[in-house]
Chains A and B, each alone.
Chain A
Amino acid sequence: MSKSATLPQAIATQFNRGPLAYAALTLYVLVTSALLLANTRTSLLTDIIFVLFLFGLLLIYRARVVGGYKLALAAALLLGVLPYFGTQNAFYVELAIQAAIFVTLALGLNVVVGFAGLLDLGYVAFFAVGAYLWGVLSTPQIAQIAPGASPVSPSMFYLFLAVGLLVGTIFGILLGFPVLRLRGDYLAIVTLGLGEVIRVLAVNLDRPVNITNGSQGIKDIARPPLPEVLRAILPGLGDAQIYQIFIYLMALLVLGVTVLVVYRLKNSRIGRAWEAIREDDVAAVAMGIPIVRMKLLAFAVGASFAGAMGVLFAAKQQFINPPTFDLLRSIGILAMVILGGMGSIPGAMLGGALVTLLDLQLLPRIAMELSALKRQGIGIPDWFDPAQYQRALFGLLLILMMIFRPAGVLPDERRREELREGEAETSAEVEPAAQSRAASTS
């Protein structure tokens, strides 16, 4: 923090603490909530308000007010306003569910990439394993593998969230064990290869035994039964609407648990060991850190979140097929982590929310506005569909972040120090060579 603050900074600090902060924060939350509830039609305006509304969460996080008040405001937004708004407009709740799922995935990948510094480009493989686990076992697909077996009851879903966690862990260890001895950039390519292998297997394992139903995917995946409590709380709503809110609450719950676990891990002995490995693995070994075991643990923890989220994802979508789990999805999750800031928990959450909104809301919205313009006779060619240019979006995001802000939007303190140190080293790289030469000639 510099002492000589500019005028905007001075204003910002004023609003960040003291009674003004409470007032401003409350006002912001109230206004955005009111605006949101007043505009329930799906449109560009509602999009903007929705983003501003979610931005309120970031403000709540950043503001210097009492923790309890923060929690109350955030709970009011996420558990009150958003579900109620969802009963009016299903699209935005769907968006929030997707955001919650991807934020959880980003948090999981953040453990691997951010905490332990292992670049995993095949993260979606574990997600796929979880999704296929529930997809195969909850549908008649199971009879293809074991003739006569019947699908598990939908109420087993909750148990399978835990099973997904476990299976993700096992896969993480199985895949991680051979590759974790590799150096960083090799690891990236190998995990990318493994991710592709899982996808290719998903496409091809319909022969000789039909496990995944090949490229057609698995449909009619079971959903957990709707709890009667929700019907009582939300009278006068259709089952589909209640169901969506139910899924939303569940995604939020999983997200909450994930945040808690990740946060505790980061500040534990294990988390510090990961950071030591990330910053200098040779020094970490010298300090007695079991490096392979710790890397494996990071891999397994990240994979377990993806496995559990895969189960939830399969139940939500009710249909999965191999293209859902392609490389682009892995890269998208990586972009979330990098945008927010590697190693930073709020960063991963912000990145996850931002990229999901960009990907699922902003790009399609621009596409729709463009096609509206086209109908009015303004020459927009047919082939131009911004929603189809996710790769360019992710690609630009990765390049620009790496060049201009490698520590991310909400950087992790220690990570930022590390990157700064790296810069200092390079600028000093030539000088010692020159000095040592001068020393030897004198």
Chain B
Amino acid sequence: MAVAAIPTPIVRRTLRMTLASVFGPLGQVFLFVVGSAVVLSVVTVLIAVLLRGTRTDVDLVQATLVILPQVLIDGLVRGFLFATIALGYTMVYGVLEFINFAHGEIFMVGAFAGAAFGSVLASSGVLSALPVPLYVVVAVLVGMAVSGLLAVSIERVAYRPLRGAPRLVPLISAIGVSLLLQDAVRLIANLSGLGFNARFQTPNFGPPIRLAEIPVSPDRAIPLILDVRALTFIIAAILMLIGLNYLVNATKLGTAIRAVAQDRPTASLMGINVNQIIALTFLIGGALGGAAGVLFGIRVGTVNPYVGFLPGLKAFTAAVLGGIGNIPGAMVGGIVLGFLEAFVASYLSLMTAGAFSGASYADIVAFGILILILIFKPSGLLGEAVSQKV
């Protein structure tokens, strides 16, 4: 069959189309943020009303309502943390159908890069003089560069030779990479004097912002506080998500990434350099992970080489929750999981009168969600049901 050369019209994107493709998915994410916050709050208050009689020492409903705004802020921060890490899992899964088990460690390396950057600045004495926004931008860029390049080199060394091998082979290699990175970072941190628990030195972020006062009784009021570091995290994460949406939905590179994700051999026939695009995907995912690491470090204050394991696992849960391979899905999954965790962590011991510690059982809740989602709706919240490739 002869194919006539038809001149394809060049589609030029209007500004409106670009904006729609960038903010459309974000609107969806926003809806989920508000929706899950409202649903969880209502459910929690209902439970508090039901359990009101079980505790005589405190008024459960009042206690629940008083900490609710703080829990929501906490959930939002956790949610954006999971969302930024989950994007790395989901993008790599999209193009390779492979769980990059080492992604949690890439996040951790980003955090260490930030800590090293902070300690270099501190030892040269410029840290305290640096304006906070400038510091955040530069530190995040450092983390992104280190983690992004690391992710690309890992792909080159440990995953590319195994492409096309049975499924479990690259996964096992990724587990190996993850363990190796933990110990390599531990070694380097010890060598360089950062130490196992590396202190994350930052300029002074100033006192937390007091948003409001919640009156509990006539003579007592509980302040509603927003930590500047948490605010930084949320703003930076939103900016990154906008950037990623622009890159993936409104640029030629993004089109190439989506093409490779859809059908690798065909994309290759259309003149897309598949290896390059896969490397690029690792770069973007790694950079996002690194940025999340730096922001996490800024917020938490110290990082250690094993800090990436649990967030990594939960971010994977978030990616599955949203529908793995689906970029807005990863954001939605991250946010929903973050809220759920924050609610369990804050309210479980309150509701059970201290019998169960919320912080530990939050982890169990996360894995429980993972298992339930995989059993009942493996395609996730936003994913479409795709038949498995045989």
Contacts and interface: CB of A to CB of B under 8 A. Distances in A.
B114 to A, nearest CB: 22
Interface in A198-214: 200-201, 203-204, 207-208
B388 interface: yes
Query: Could you tell me the dominant secondary structure of chain B's interface residues?
Result: helix
Interface string B187-218: 10011000000000000000000000000000
A207 B363 contact: no
Nearest to B369: A193
A190 B364 CA distance: 12
A403 interface: yes
B172 A433 contact: no
Contacts of B352: 208
A197 B309 CA distance: 14
Nearest to A394: B179
B313 A433 contact: no
B7 interface: no
A395 B176 contact: yes
A398 B179 contact: yes
Interface string A404-442: 001000000000001100110110011001000100110
B104 to A, nearest CB: 11
A337 to B, nearest CB: 10
A179 B320 CA distance: 14
Interface stretch (B16-24, B36-44, B288-296, B353-361): B353-361
Q: How large is the interface on A (under 10, 10 to 19, 20 to 34, 35 or more residues)?
A: 35 or more
B178 interface: yes
B173 A398 contact: yes
B185 to A, nearest CB: 10
A183 B93 CA distance: 14
Contact of B1 (A178, A192, A282, A441): A441
A403 B371 contact: no
Contacts of A182: 374, 378
A403 B158 CA distance: 7
Interface string B28-59: 00000000000000000000000000000000
A185 B168 contact: yes
A384 B190 CA distance: 9
Nearest to A327: B309
Contacts of A383: 190
A121 B370 contact: no
Contact of B364 (A117, A197, A398): A197
B286 interface: no
Nearest to A183: B388
Contact of A190 (B161, B175, B176, B374): B374
Given A197-B364, A419-B165, A430 B265 contact: yes
B180 interface: yes
A394 B166 CA distance: 21
A389 B184 CA distance: 9
A429 B274 CA distance: 14
Contacts of A429: 164, 265
A188 B356 contact: no
B377 interface: no
Nearest to A332: B179
B242 interface: no
B357 A396 contact: no
Contact of B371 (A179, A208, A423): A179
B166 A192 contact: no
Contacts of B320: 186
A399 interface: yes
Interface in B374-390: 374-375, 378, 388, 390
Nearest to B376: A178
Given A201-B364, A402-B162, A193 B371 contact: yes
Given A204-B356, A433-B265, A117 B179 contact: no
A397 B177 CA distance: 10
Interface in B102-138: none
Interface string A167-204: 00000000000110111111011101110110011011
Nearest to B99: A185
A331 interface: yes
Contacts of B361: 200, 204
B63 interface: no
A392 interface: yes
A276 to B, nearest CB: 15
B161 A403 contact: yes
A391 B183 contact: yes
Contacts of A381: 191
B282 interface: no
Contact of B390 (A179, A282, A389, A419): A282
B10 interface: no
B99 A441 contact: no
B264 to A, nearest CB: 9
Interface in A315-349: 327-328, 331, 334, 338
B179 A185 contact: no
Contacts of A208: 352, 355-356
B164 A425 contact: yes
Contacts of B313: 189, 192-193, 196
A331 B171 contact: no
Contact of B179 (A194, A201, A331, A403): A331
Interface string B250-283: 0000000000000001001100000000000000
B59 to A, nearest CB: 23
A119 interface: yes
Contacts of A399: 158, 173, 176-177, 180
Contact of A418 (B166, B175, B354): B166
Given A178-B375, A189-B313, A196-B363, A419 B172 contact: no
Contacts of B355: 207-208
Interface string A62-93: 00000000000000000000000000000000
Given A204-B361, A394-B179, A433-B269, A119 B165 contact: no
Given A192-B313, A197-B367, A395 B178 contact: yes
Contact of A398 (B1, B3, B175, B357): B175
B180 A188 contact: no
B153 to A, nearest CB: 13
Interface of A: 117, 119, 121, 178-179, 181-186, 188-190, 192-194, 196-197, 200-201, 203-204, 207-208, 282, 327-328, 331, 334, 338, 381, 383-384, 389, 391-392, 394-403, 406, 418-419, 422-423, 425-426, 429-430, 433, 437, 440-441
21 contacts: A119-B172, A184-B167, A184-B171, A185-B98, A185-B99, A185-B171, A186-B320, A186-B374, A188-B168, A189-B370, A190-B370, A193-B367, A200-B360, A391-B180, A392-B179, A395-B182, A398-B175, A398-B179, A402-B158, A403-B158, A426-B163
Report the 4 A-B pairs with minimum CB-CB distance, sorted nearest first: A426-B164, A398-B176, A395-B179, A395-B180
Given A189-B99, A419-B169, 14 more contacts: A183-B388, A184-B171, A185-B98, A188-B168, A204-B360, A204-B361, A207-B354, A207-B356, A328-B179, A334-B175, A399-B177, A406-B169, A418-B166, A422-B165
